[in-house]
Structure 1
Amino acid sequence: MHPIPTIKDVALAAGVSIGTASKALNGQGQLRDETRRRVRAVAEELGYQPNDLAQSLHRKRTFMVGLISTDNYGRFSMPLLEGIEHALGTAELSVFLCNAADDSERERRHVASLLSKRVDGIIVTANRTDPRPPLDLLGSRVPVLYALARVPDDSALCLVPDDAQGARLAAEHLVGLGRRRIAHVTGPRDYEVVGLRQEAVREVLVAAGLAFPERRVLSGPWRATWGRAAAERLLSTDPDIDAVFCGSDEIALGLTGALRERGVRVPDDIAVVGFDNWEIIAEATVPPLTSVDMRLRDLGHEAATALLGLIDGERRQGVHRLPCDLVVRASSGAAGGAS
């Protein structure tokens, strides 16, 4: 077995000092181009690989960041992570994913572990955007950014989807298709996004001269079973509705199934729009579900880019709401049925 080549071996073979070899390989110092090329050629010939720890200590950077999530199922954190890794990959940074599972002590242990690894920054994410306590950094000054999460701290930087704008897209889409009696089946009232979306729908309908009575707003769990129960209630109490905007794709899945079992045609009789654009659910719905997409991959990419700025000393703060998209499929009855 051949010994692993060291920086000393490279320097000896290139006929330079160890300091000069290090500067040539790190792109530092005032060296002649010929010297730099010769050192790098020798390093490649020997198969020399720089020591990551030594490099990080030299540059005062580890090129590692932490991602702390409370999303047990990964429904929101995984697409967010894809966007984060895509952005950080181009910067050659590695990501440590930690699941805190809404456990403050577990989160504290993850923070301690990440700090012991000397991470350059931390991104905190969740499965809801209601305010949470700021991350306890145990006295460290490492940069922190919140993505799909928010803290009651004006100096923190928080990136979240614009839920109100997404709900307006859904409501305007249904109104534009000629729907006039629109119901909203959504999640628990204690979620901030529930209030934001409901108010946005109300504004669109009022602006269009349409009624939006309280009986057409039904709140329950973020579950398909709730969608089924809500469909039964709407058909019993408000049988003239011609559209339903659901607060999640799971709710929409249950609702459309119940409508179909009752002989109600979607979208001919009742158009349906969901929220999340969870493709495995949206495409399994019959017919395929029109849904609001929070663009979580884009949000993750933006979060990683912003964190790199914080690491480099930029000062950004406040809550930034990023726009959503509407992915049109057959359930709303739009011409073309997809986009």
Structure 2
Amino acid sequence: MPRRAEPPARRATVRDVAARAGVSPGTVSKALNGTGQISRATRDRILAAAQEIDFRPNALARSVFERRSYTVGLITTDSFERFSVPVMLGAEDALGAGKISVFMCDSRDDPIREKHYVDVLLGRRVDGFIVTGRIFNEREPLDVSPGVPVVYALTPSSDPGDCSIVVDDAAAGRVAGEHLIRLGRRRIGHITGSAWFDPARRRAAGLAEALGAAGLEVAGDPLYGDWTEAWGRQATHILLRSCPEVDAIYCGSDILARGVGDSLRELGRRVPEDVALIGTDNWEFIAGGARPPLTSVDLGLSTVGRLAARRLLEAIGGNSRAGKEYVPCHLVVRGSTDDLPPASTGSAS
């Protein structure tokens, strides 16, 4: 005869945990959710009882009871994922502690696509949104229902009443300039990306501030262009033709710095003996693989994500913040700025 299938084991409930721990179901709920005034001994006894009978909280019931979905939406415009992925990983680190899931949607910088994703996620009753992207200029606020909290990461909202977590780009320029000055470099050039990109101008201003404090000026004018290796190579030739005595260059990105390094070698300039070189982003794939390895300013992208997630959780809990909050950057020193005195340089060809 065929064996009769065993009935599925009954799932443990809050009442089972309460009976085993000798407390009320309400006390169990408070202990498991971390709420209420419960002694440490009672909480430990409840948690032990839950583990002994393999109790697993019903997420759906919990969400209905607390009127929350325990999900958040992360809207990004970064198709290249260079900036949004570190932010997302940092956000997930912070949200995961609260067992909150993340829906990530790439709008591809398309307002219609973004609106579609927002509508879909609101239909899923997400508890809030984190908005990020690769363009750090201000953006219009996300079009969401009243009362739905939104935190902006990297790409700040144009509404000062919104909460925006951003990189301290001016500090990035200062950190780079101060490091080069400590190394004895005095003729420091700057090659960066597009002038319409707000962080590019802020990094240039930070560098000028650091040099000014030491009685120095940027060698030539900051050279604005594309965020490409090709521009880095071209700008290096431009800079050295106008300022052949340059002994250090700060670049607005690691990609640019790689192009700069190529041209310096072509022109017979050694890095770091003749020209010290610093990038921005601390993109390990680029900075660590450069020859010599590239000193770079780390913008703290994962910290931006973690802080954005914490601010979103606070807003979901009714404690929202307004304005921009800046995340500090730090310098990662590698071989392109070894502590060597600058060598005398000749004219660039």
* TM-score category, normalised to shorter length: 0.7 to 0.9
| CA–CA separation in structure 1 for the residues paired with 2:241 and 2:216 | 21
Q: Which residue of 1 aligns with 2:318?
A: 313
Tell me the TM-score normalized by structure 1. Answer: 0.87
Identity of aligned residues (%): 43
Contact between 2:17 and 2:55, CA under 8 Å: does it hold in 1? no
* CA–CA distance in structure 2, aligned partners of residues 108 and 115 of structure 1: 10
Greater mean alpha carbon deviation, residues 215-224 or residues 282-291 = 215-224
2:156 to 139, 147, 150: 150
Q: CA deviation at 1:284?
A: 1.1
Maintained 8 Å contact 1:293/1:327: yes
Question: 1:82 offset after TM fit, Å?
Answer: 1.4
Q: Deviations over 1:68-94 (max 9, x none)?
A: 111111111111111111111111111
Residues 331 and 98 of structure 1: CA distance in aligned 2, closer, same or farther (over 3 Å) = same
Unaligned runs of 5+ in 1: none
State which of 240, 248, 253 in structure 1 corresponds to 2:258: 253
CA pair 84-330 structure 1, distance change in 2 beyond 3 A: same
Q: TM-score scaled by structure 2? A: 0.85
Residue in 2 that maps onto 1:286? 291
How far is the alpha carbon of 1:4 from its aligned partner? 6.0
- The alignment's C-alpha RMSD in Å is 2.7
Please give the alpha-carbon distance, in whole angstroms, between the structure 1 residues aligned to 2:55 and 2:64: 19
Residues 219-258 of structure 1 aligned to structure 2 (within 5 Å): 219-258=224-263
Residue 100 of structure 1 is aligned with which of 103, 107, 116?
107
Which one of 20, 24, 29 corresponds to residue 26 of structure 1? 29
Q: Hey, what does 1:164 align to over in structure 2?
A: 170
Find 2:306's aligned residue among 295, 298, 301.
301
Aligned residue in 2 for 1:188: 194
Q: 2:10 aligns with which of 5, 13, 20?
A: 5
Q: Tell me which residue corresponds to 1:123.
A: 130
Residues in 2 aligned to 1:193 and 1:38: alpha-carbon distance in whole angstroms: 51
Query: Does the C-alpha gap of structure 1 residues 257 and 44 become closer, same or farther in structure 2, counting only changes over 3 Å?
Result: same
- Relative to structure 2, which stretch is displaced further, 245-254 or 49-58? 49-58
* Offset at residue 189 of structure 1 (A): 0.5
1:5–1:48 CA contact under 8 A, matched in 2: no
The residue correspondences of 1:314-329 to structure 2 (distance < 5 A) are 314-329=319-334
SS at match of 2:129: strand
Aligned length: 325
Displacement after TM superposition at 1:41 (Å): 4.8
Report the counterpart of residue 136 of structure 1 in structure 2: 143
Cα deviation, residue 207, structure 1: 2.1
CA distance in 1, matches of 2:217, 2:78: 37
What's 1:205 paired with? 211
Name the aligned partner's letter for residue 315 of structure 2.
L
**1:122 offset after TM fit, Å?**
0.7
Letter in 2 for 1:187: G
CA 292–38 in structure 1, closer or farther in 2 if over 3 Å, else same: closer
Question: Is the alpha carbon distance of 1:111 and 1:44 closer, same or farther for their aligned partners in structure 2, counting shifts above 3 Å?
Answer: farther
Secondary structure at the residue paired with 1:124? Answer: strand
Pairing partner for 1:63 from 48, 56, 70: 70
Q: Which amino acid aligns with 1:57?
A: V
CA distance in 1, matches of 2:218, 2:120: 51
C-alpha displacement of 1:14: 8.4
Q: Note the residue ranges of structure 2 that are not aligned, 5 or more in a row.
A: 1-5, 341-349
